Copies of this chain bind each other. A is one copy, B any other.
Amino acid sequence: MTVSASLDYRVPYADTDQMTFVYYANYLIYFEMAREELMRAIGLPYSKLEELGCALPVLEAVCHYKKPAKFEDILTITATLAEMKGVRVKIACTVKRGEELLAEGWTVHAFMNRDGRPQKPPKVFLDAITSTPTIPES
């Protein structure tokens, strides 16, 4: 069983660059949008996490660009809980246009408290992921 969530997003002009493609940094925003969906699906929206005095800063971001996304494309962005190890969580993301894979990558995050120290993930989060298979680290 995998813990995963998706959203659809239509590319605005704002996201394009003069190559007529989506500018590469925007994919990390797309990843974030799907990640937020995932957190809501788990029952722990990011705002609630912050209310609990917890943050989930990014330690690492990786994106592989396969095919360009374009203006007005409807993208399906998916985030999947890929791995959990101590306070670290890895979330895999894909950006598709229909069946076509445009980009894929992942982010690694650490649960921290308000003082920036590593902190055990909240129980609701741990409960949600116990059924997720562990995959080998990147």
Q: Which residues of A contact B (CB under 8 A)?
A: 10, 12-14, 16-21, 23-26, 28-29, 32-33, 36, 45-47, 55, 57-65, 68, 71-72, 107
> Could you say which of B16, B24, B46, B61 contacts A24, with CB atoms under 8 Å apart?
B61
How many chain copies?
A: 4
Task: Name the CB-closest residue of B to A16.
Answer: B18
Residue in B14, B47, B72 whose CB lies within 8 Å of A17? B14
Find out whether the CB atom of A19 lies under 8 angstroms from the CB atom of B61: no
Main secondary structure of the interface of A (DSSP, over half): mixed
Of the residues B18, B60, B63, contact of A13 by C-beta under 8 Å: B18
A12 touches B32 (CB 8 A): yes
